[in-house]
Chains A and B, each alone.
Chain A
Amino acid sequence: MDSGLSSLGGGGGGGSGGGSSTNESVTTVSKVEVVEQMSTEASSYPGEAELELGLGLSLGTGGGGGGLVKPKQPSSAWGEYGRILTAKDFPSVLSNASSTTPRFSNSSAGPVSGTKRAADSAVSQEVGSATAASQVVGWPPIRAYRMNSLVNQAKALAAEDDKADSENDKFKDTLKKKPYTGSNKNNSTVKEKGHLGFVKVNMDGLPIGRKVDLDAHACYETLAQTLEDMFFRHNTTMPPIRSDVEKGQSTNPSKLLDGSSEFVLTYEDKDGDWMLVGDVPWGMFLSTVKRLRIMRTSEANGLGM
């Protein structure tokens, strides 16, 4: 067996406990690889002989049991019936995809379908795990919404981890026991905080919100200008707003930031608190902002103190 495959994930499946010497290398196979348990009765079918042969070639351990049906020890189950997929069965692994990985037992059909499968644009499912290897589709059997919930929990924890000195000691204790989702090792989770992309912006009095791309800005001024353009100047489908808001004066400094407008710009941070935009350094703002709200100044009293 190709021990190089263990780099695909490490950790054995059922055979890992079995100590049978002839199949030891099988036991180090990653949990990603597909061990296929072939039908021992298959050899009795006409035409199945070809299948058997195809299997035998790829097994490397002498093929099936030749029609015997007996309860299997873990090691022999693997050794006689396992086929370990080789790297060509796994096209390059991409992240954050939600669908299929290569077919498993179809590989029994021989090299042709193996090639077909390799051409398939299979991608792996990565749910914040430390292992970058492709994983079996739909295993463990967890529903999509629950996976999302776990991912959200992991993200929240990654954000918590980055708070160097967490004020809440109790929370720190719970953190230690949090899932080992690789949040400390998985760079993409850390990166996510800096690449927020679009956040929602709502304005008091307007039913429809907008979205703004925070990545497109490097400072508060440009962000505020963009928002003023969006809400006060350019959107003619919005219901009319109070006349004392400035219109069409793009050369002026942002009214939203300097407190001279009827509205102020606020944001919700990841703790759920609403803060005035502009109080913290831009980088820190980016790492903590969840969404924005253009609030009436009268309602904004007491914010961000």
Chain B
Amino acid sequence: MGYSFPEEVLEHVLSFIDSDSDRNSVSLVCKSWHDIERWCRRRLFVGNCYAVSPAIAIRRFPELRSVSLKGKPHFADFNLVPHEWGGYAYPWIAAFAEAYPWLEELRLKRMVVSDEALELIAKKFKNFRVLVMYSCEGFSTDGLATIAANCRNLKELDLSESEVDDVSENWLCQFPDSYTSLESLNITSLSSEIRFSGLERLVGRCPNLKTLKLSHSVPLDLLPNLLQKAPQLVELGSGLHTKEVHPDLYSKLAGAFSGCKGLKRLCGLWDVVPSYLPTLYPICFGLTSLNLSDAPIQCPELIKLVSQCQNLQRLWVLDYIEDTGLNALAESCKDLRELRVFPSDPFGQEPNVSLTEQGLVSVSAGCPKLHSVLYFCRRMSNVALSTIARNRPNLTRFRLCIIERFCPDYITLEPLDVGFGAIVEHCKDLKRLSLSGLLTDRVFEYIGSHGKKLEMLSLAFAGDSDLGLHHVLSGCKSLRKLEIRDCPFGDKALLENAAKLETMRSLWMSACQVSYRACKLLGQKMPRLNVEVIAEQGHPDLSPDEYPVEKLYIYRTVSGPRSDMPSFVWTMDKNPALRSS
């Protein structure tokens, strides 16, 4: 070969390739492609912030504009990960502040972000545009005030589900009057009040505002004004509560909603009163996404609302919708792609609503595009699961939570192995699966043999023996994330499948039977894994080696053990012989 492909051409071609996995493939072609690719990559996704160090990321990709980072394991959402576990954003942001003065976007999930980190963002990145902090914590409204005051080009500020320390009410006023570039604002998680006049003025002067998700504290009588100032809104999150029906307010609201001709996504509606729901009817036809999971709306009103949303693609709702509501959904919303049904009374002893497996079966039959399901219910049967599987072989995400643990098929009293087996067998593109109910090792046999595209699996109170875990680890070729709690899985399966762990992002096991000895062994044998033992009740050295560890988090990494662990987390030594010297 006497010619070389001009770099500029390749760069131009690569600029059309967004997918990370495709770019990773490109960089494996040859050294020069690797080099060209790394210089022109602009977006980086780090699924586990401890899998790689900031320095390594910066060294490889010198020209990033957008970074996404994830910190804590998913089970942190359910209080299974101790509070001080880690996931600190500051080291990353500090490193980026030096390396990427032109960084524009940061998306953080389950990380601890301090006000100091926010200040760095505000002061060091001159063209900062997007800050998303999903389920983060550690910062206050002071940090937000600094962002507002300094980020002239901020387009998006999203605090979904983050815990924010509300210390100042007027941080929104820190956006200068000259600031007009806001396109997306999500402050749902802020609990205290904000300066409403500041909010109104902000909304009024940002013509490109498309997403506005407010918090509980914004009073209803403010909403019509906001909507009138932003009729171009595409996504709205707001309450709709007032106890007394003011006729004036009602008509103002109805008028304001009618004016929002482009509104496609709606959420919030905490404390909504049924009498105000009709104000939404004019926009129902245009809605593609409706999140009523915070709304205490009962079945009849839900049916009225949902039946008008013929273009609905995504519905999140409480189980007040009941089977009858889901039947109505199946009849009206033929474009439905995603359904999540949450429990209104998860700890009640008796079912408070008439929502059973039948509702899900109806929707699976009536909605041909349904591919993503999250469903809380109190009973299930193998025949229902098999029916769902046959109805919807296009399912990609199936998360079922039967509220009672160890709950068998309510008709036959058998385990639900066969039902879930049908799901993995028929739904060949299934990427994510969460199990519940009474399950033996057999379900894992099915999952291992059929779940070839499965990337994430969540298990709780399931299985009989190590064989279960072995089936999963040896059979699920695409597995990236495995999280397990309270299952009788121990050393054998884990050690036999140790190599598998390097092909996955992470494995979480809590309240299982993996011994401390096995953890140490794994740590020694697998230098490219961090085997972290979490033991809040004292160092595992104080118990015999064969005692099980409380919690175990194993993840692959190129950066070695982390240095920011709290006192109750230990990374198993990779070189125990050196330790004693």
Q: How far is the CB of A301 from chain B (nearest CB, A)?
A: 16
Q: Which residues of A contact B347 (CB under 8 A)?
A: 127-129, 131, 135, 181
Task: Give the CA-CA distance A150 to B471 in the complex, in Å.
Answer: 38
- The chain B residue sitting closest to A32, CB to CB, is B405
Asked whether, in the complex, the Cβ of B537 is within 8 Å of the Cβ of A120, the reply is yes
Is A242 in the interface zone, CB < 8 Å from B? no
Contacts of A112 in B (CB 8 A): 543
**Which chain B residue has the least Cβ–Cβ distance from A13?**
B406
Known: A69-B441, A116-B538, A142-B346. A106 touches B161 (CB 8 A): no
- Which of A77, A109, A131, A208 contacts B464 (CB under 8 A)? A77
A207 B169 Cβ-Cβ under 8 A: yes
B79, B437, B487, B548: most-surrounded residue (chain A CB, <10 A): B79
Min Cβ gap A122→B in Å is 10
Which of B242, B275, B294, B463 has the most chain A CB within a 10 Å cutoff? B294
Question: B513 touching A141 by the CB < 8 A rule?
Answer: no
Taking a contact as CB atoms under 8 Å apart, the answer to whether A140 and B538 are in contact is: no
For the complex, give the distance between the alpha carbons of A36 and B512 in Å. 9
Residues in A whose Cβ lies below 8 Å from that of B404: 11-14, 31
Interface string of A141-163 (1 = CB under 8 A from B): 11111100110110011000000
* Residues in B222-266 with C-beta less than 8 Å from chain A: 241-244
Min C-beta distance of B79 to chain A, whole Å = 5
Q: Nearest Cβ distance between residue B305 and chain A, in whole angstroms? A: 14
Q: Do A48 and B546 touch (CB < 8 A)? A: yes
Number of interface residues of A (CB under 8 A): 89
Given contacts A71-B417, A74-B438, contact A136 B405 (CB under 8 A): yes
User: Given A40-B465, A45-B492, A77-B464, is A150 in contact with B273 using a C-beta cutoff of 8 Å?
Assistant: no
Is B407 positioned at the interface, with any CB of A under 8 Å from its CB? yes
B270 touching A149, Cβ below 8 Å: yes
Which of the residues B78, B441, B547 comes within 8 Å of A137, measured between beta carbons? B78
Q: Is A227 part of the binding interface, using a Cβ–Cβ cutoff of 8 Å?
A: no
Interface string of A256-296 (1 = CB under 8 A from B): 00000000000000111100000000000000000000000
The answer, yes or no, to whether A59 is at the interface (CB within 8 Å) is: no
Q: Which of B487-532 contact A (CB under 8 A)?
A: 487-492, 511-513, 517
Given known A-B contacts A47-B546, A130-B348, A146-B293, A207 and B170 have beta carbons under 8 A apart: yes
Known contacts A17-B408, A36-B488, A156-B271; decide if A271 and B242 are in contact (CB<8 Å).
yes
A95 an interface residue at 8 Å Cβ cutoff? no
B317 within 8 A of A: no
- Give the chain B neighbours of A48 by CB distance below 8 A: 546
Among the interface residues A50, A128, A146, which one has the most CB atoms of the partner chain B within 10 A?
A: A146
Q: How far is the CB of A257 from chain B (nearest CB, A)?
A: 24
Cβ–Cβ contact A14 & B442, under 8 A: no
Secondary structure call for the B interface: loop
Contacts of B242 in A (CB 8 A): 271-272
Measured between beta carbons, the chain B residues less than 8 angstroms from A63 are none
Number of interface residues of B (CB under 8 A): 90
Q: In the bound complex, how far is the Cα of B195 from the Cα of A253, in angstroms?
A: 32
Q: Is the CB of A71 within 8 A of B467?
A: no
Asked if residues A140 and B376 are in contact (CB atoms below 8 Å), the reply is: yes
Question: Main secondary structure on chain A at its contact with chain B?
Answer: loop
User: A37-B464, A77-B440, A131-B349 known; A117 and B537 CB under 8 Å?
Assistant: yes
B20 interfacial by beta-carbon distance below 8 Å: no
Complex CA gap A191/B303 in Å reads 36
Tell me, in angstroms, the Cα distance from A100 to B534 when the chains sit together: 14
**Shortest beta-carbon distance from A145 to chain B in Å:** 5
CA distance A179 to B75 in the complex (A): 26
In Å, the complex CA distance between A61 and B75 comes to 33
Contacting B at CB under 8 A, from A32-75, are 34-42, 45, 47-48, 50-51, 69, 71-74
CA distance A73 to B412 in the complex (A): 11
Task: Give min CB distance, B197 to chain A, whole Å.
Answer: 11
On whether the beta carbons of A71 and B343 are closer than 8 Å, the reply is no
- CA–CA, A243 and B270, complex, Å: 42
B424 to chain A, nearest CB (A): 17
B406 touches A41 (CB 8 A): no
Q: Does B413 contact A (CB under 8 A)?
A: yes
**Cβ distance A198 to chain B, nearest Cβ, rounded Å:** 12
Shortest beta-carbon distance from A295 to chain B in Å: 14
Given contacts A14-B408, A31-B404, A98-B79, contact A174 B298 (CB under 8 A): yes
CA distance A273 to B512 in the complex (A): 53
Complex CA–CA separation, A105 to B485 (angstroms): 10
Contacts of A254 in B (CB 8 A): none
Q: Which residues in A have some Cβ–Cβ distance to B below 8 Å?
A: 9-15, 17-19, 31, 34-42, 45, 47-48, 50-51, 69, 71-74, 77-78, 81, 98-100, 103-106, 108-109, 112-113, 116-117, 120, 125, 127-131, 135-146, 149-150, 152-153, 156-157, 170-171, 174, 177-182, 200, 202, 207-209, 270-273
Given contacts A100-B79, A106-B550, A200-B193, 12 further A-B contacts (CB under 8 A): A9-B349, A14-B404, A18-B408, A37-B487, A39-B466, A42-B490, A106-B547, A138-B80, A142-B342, A149-B270, A272-B243, A273-B244
Sorted nearest first, the 9 A-B pairs with minimum C-beta distance are: A14-B406, A138-B78, A271-B243, A179-B345, A129-B347, A14-B438, A13-B406, A109-B547, A39-B465
20 contacts between A and B (CB under 8 A): A14-B404, A19-B413, A39-B465, A39-B489, A42-B466, A45-B492, A50-B546, A69-B467, A71-B441, A77-B415, A108-B548, A117-B537, A129-B347, A131-B349, A142-B78, A153-B344, A171-B273, A177-B320, A180-B349, A207-B195
CB within 8 Å of A: which residues of B?
A: 75, 77-80, 83, 135, 161, 168-170, 189, 192-193, 195, 219-220, 241-244, 270-271, 273-275, 293-294, 296, 298-299, 320, 342-350, 352-353, 376, 401, 403-408, 410, 413-415, 417, 434, 437-438, 440-442, 460-461, 463-467, 485-492, 511-513, 517, 536-538, 543, 545-548, 550
